[in-house]
Amino acid sequence: MSTAIATRRPTRLASALAVCVALAAMWKLNASTTALALEAVGVTALTGGFGLWRRDWKIAGALVGTLGLAGFAGAVGVAFSGVVGMSGIIRLIPGLFGIFVLALALVPVRGTGSRTLVKVGTGLVFVAVLASGIFNAVSLGALLLAGAATVVAWDAGEHAINVGEHLGRGRETRETELVHIAGTGLVALLAVETAKFSGGVGPSGLSLGSLVLLLVAVVLLAVALHD
């Protein structure tokens, strides 16, 4: 009797949600829709290329993976062409790189994923959030939602790796993944709404220091939920 061996890699659903939520965070920061679409295509192609490579379809995997890199390069090029001034570059380019790094963490050629790259990737997206706050580039509501989405993306990436390590990719884990990520998302949204309406904080009256503390509080809340 043969026994199925679970694949110890990050689970597909949580990984895909992590990348999608990170893309949504950049969209709330007014990143170019074309750039984000190219990045989504690039990440998808990169994932397919890695999958083909692992199945020993080396040439096809390399070609599809190269297409993914081209999609990412196109996304950065479109973003560069669309931003105005250094502030636009500082705000948006780190986030685009961050999404790519997050994808690399969750579609590893070898191993079971990289928590370090998940942190680096979502950290770069968080830099975009903070930079957008410093340059007052988006509304407070958009900024808080982008910050919350960054935390959810980080948590989803970590969860994908954790479930993959303990249960494997081959088992039915979708319900567990959805419940976990939905719970994190609800808590993050609750934190954002509470912060917006508590203490008489208005959309235009929040100082930078308060904003940073607010975003850090959201991060810590998600960390507590994760643990």
For residue range 46-66, list pLDDT tens digits in order: 888 888 888 888 888 889 989
For residue 121, give every residue at least 6 positions away whose Cβ sits within 8 Å of its Cβ, in sequence order, or none: 22, 98, 99, 100, 101, 102, 103, 104, 105, 157
Task: Give 10-51 pLDDT, tens digit per residue.
Answer: 898 999 999 999 999 999 998 989 999 999 999 999 888 888
Give 2's pLDDT tier (boundaries 50, 70, 90).
very low
Give the tens place of pLDDT for each residue, 75-132. 888 888 877 778 888 888 999 999 999 999 998 766 778 889 999 999 999 899 888 8
Q: What was the pLDDT predicted at 99?
A: 94
CA nearest 65: which of 32, 92, 99, 103? 103
**Which tokens is 38 given?**
């190219």
* Contact in structure between 19 and 59 (CB atoms under 8 Å): no
Q: How far is CA 9 from CA 52, 135, 140, 153, in A?
A: 15, 39, 37, 18
pLDDT in tens, 130-142: 888 888 788 878 8
- Tens-digit pLDDT profile for residues 123-181: 999 899 888 888 878 887 888 889 889 989 999 999 999 888 888 776 678 888 888 88
Q: Can you give the pTM of this predicted structure?
A: 0.84
Amino acid 86: pLDDT:
80
Return d(Cα 165, Cα 173) in angstroms, integer: 12
